[in-house]
């Protein structure tokens, strides 16, 4: 069965997988395209790299028009306001600007501001000590959060412990593709976190991120990730192949070094988990560089 124009919106929507589908992108035009293609988009995730690639931001940068930090924020706000009404109840994740020195206070201030942009915002904080402090205070204030750049089971455990009592579901985003990039089996992290959270109270949902292939997507469904965030190219491939779902005989083609399961007690204080990870640090540095490149080239 293939997804053709003849496959109407209702038929396509009926093929919804068990995981909510979020588009990983920064262009509202792509959101409309994917909504037409699939018949639905449950939510969207953005980040500084994706916003730098937004056609209007790229045009401003290319034309050499100076863009201050305030103007960049205004562009980001315009983009998420266009995306917001196009998606379902998984909301739009908006990422705070954070370098390695940004304090929890500074992140929280940005988070509050970004939360006022749209009614369905999820504020993205990095999985660092300052990011988790900001997240802890955010959920106490009723903000919805998505903890990004998660590369280990310990980091996911810390997210769980830091956000206990949250009224809205908390998202944690383990990055599959970037673990594959360093020779590990990124899918194992999804499996391990899901297994660990099975002993918890269900307040943190796994948002499988850094999905680079159809196999990543199918295996995320298979492992029961509550949400997946997927780039346009992979969603197009999924649609072109008839929006397949893994059946009972599904198995993921082995890739990379296995990531070992850890026995972790979710009741420990979040500060007691080792949340350091080189890919979290590198990820922050890359987001900072992409964000600053738009300012530097525009001024």
Question: Two tokens at 47?
Answer: 């980040």
The helix (H) or strand (E) run that includes residue 153 is: helix 153-162
| Rounded Cα distance, 114 and 20, in Å | 23
Does position 209 interact with ligand E4P (CB under 6 A)? The reply is yes
Q: Find the binder of ligand E4P among 173, 184, 215, 280 (CB under 6 A).
A: 173
DSSP-derived secondary structure letter, 41:
-
Beta bridge partners of 58: none
Q: What are phi and psi of 55, to 5 degrees?
A: -55, -40
Residue closer to ligand E4P by CB (options 7, 238) is: 238
CA 162 to chain centre: 18
Q: Are 42 and 20 in contact (CB under 8 A)?
A: yes
Interface segment toward ligand E4P; rule CB under 6 A; list 8-16, 152-160, 173-181, 188-196:
173-181
Residue 177 near ligand E4P by CB under 6 A: yes
Q: In angstroms, what CA-CA distances link 36 with 86, 241, 262, 291?
A: 11, 16, 42, 30
- Binding of residue 210 to ligand E4P (CB under 6 A): yes
Closest CA to 170 of 212, 138, 193: 138
Q: Least separation, in Å, of the C-beta of 296 and ligand E4P?
A: 21
Instruction: Verify binding: residue 148, ligand E4P, rule CB under 6 A.
Output: yes
Q: Which of residues 221-260 bind ligand E4P (CB under 6 A)?
A: 229
* Span of 13-21, 62-70, 172-180, 262-270 interacting with ligand E4P by CB under 6 A: 172-180
175 binds ligand E4P (CB under 6 A): yes
Options 20, 133, 144, 178; binder of ligand E4P; rule CB under 6 A: 178
> Which tokens belong to 101?
């020195």
First to last CA, the chain: 51
| Alpha-carbon span 178 to 184, nearest angstrom | 9
Catalytic residue among 12, 20, 62, 124: 124
Q: Examine residue 153 and tell whether it contacts ligand E4P (CB under 6 A).
A: no
Helix (H, G, I), strand (E, B) or coil at 209: strand
Interacting span for ligand E4P (CB under 6 A) from 53-61, 84-92, 169-177, 266-274: 169-177
To ligand E4P, the closest distance from the beta carbon of 176 in angstroms equals 8
Burial of 247 (0-12, 13-18, 19+ CB in 10 A): exposed
Number of residues that bind ligand E4P (CB under 6 A): 11
Is residue 24 a contact point for ligand E4P (CB under 6 A)?
yes
Q: Is 215 in the site for ligand E4P (CB under 6 A)?
A: no
Smallest distance from ligand E4P to CB 210, Å: 3
Query: Does residue 194 carry a catalytic annotation?
Result: no
Interface residue list for ligand E4P (CB under 6 A): 24, 45, 47, 148, 173, 175, 177-178, 209-210, 229
Active site residues: 124
């Amino acid at each position: 069965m293939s997804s053709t124009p003849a496959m109407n919106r209702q038929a396509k929507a009926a093929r919804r997988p068990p995981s909510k589908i979020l588009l990983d992108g920064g262009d509202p035009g792509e959101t409309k395209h994917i909504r037409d293609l699939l018949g639905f988009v449950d939510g969207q995730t953005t980040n500084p790299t994706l916003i730098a690639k937004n056609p209007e931001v790229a045009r401003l940068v290319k034309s050499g028009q100076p863009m201050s930090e305030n103007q960049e924020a205004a562009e980001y706000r315009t983009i998420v306001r266009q995306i917001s009404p196009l998606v379902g109840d998984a909301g739009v994740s908006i990422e705070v600007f954070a370098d390695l020195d940004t304090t929890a206070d500074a992140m929280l201030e940005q988070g509050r501001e970004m939360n006022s942009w749209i009614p369905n915002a999820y504020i993205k904080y990095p999985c660092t000590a300052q990011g988790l402090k900001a997240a802890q205070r955010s959920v106490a204030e009723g903000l919805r959060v998505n903890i990004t750049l998660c590369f280990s089971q310990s980091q996911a455990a810390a997210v769980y412990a830091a956000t206990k009592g949250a009224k809205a579901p908390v998202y944690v985003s383990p990055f599959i593709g970037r673990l594959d990039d360093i020779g590990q089996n990124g899918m194992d992290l999804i499996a391990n976190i899901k297994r660990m959270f099975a002993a918890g109270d269900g307040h943190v949902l796994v948002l499988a991120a850094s999905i680079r292939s159809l196999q990543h997507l199918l295996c995320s469904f298979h492992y029961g990730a509550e949400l997946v965030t997927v780039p346009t190219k992979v969603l197009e491939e999924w649609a072109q192949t008839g929006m397949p779902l893994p059946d009972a005989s599904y198995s993921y083609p082995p890739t990379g070094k296995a990531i070992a399961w850890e026995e972790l007690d979710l009741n420990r204080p979040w500060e007691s988990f080792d949340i350091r990870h080189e890919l979290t640090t590198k990820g922050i540095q890359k987001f900072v560089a992409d964000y600053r490149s738009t300012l530097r080239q525009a001024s």
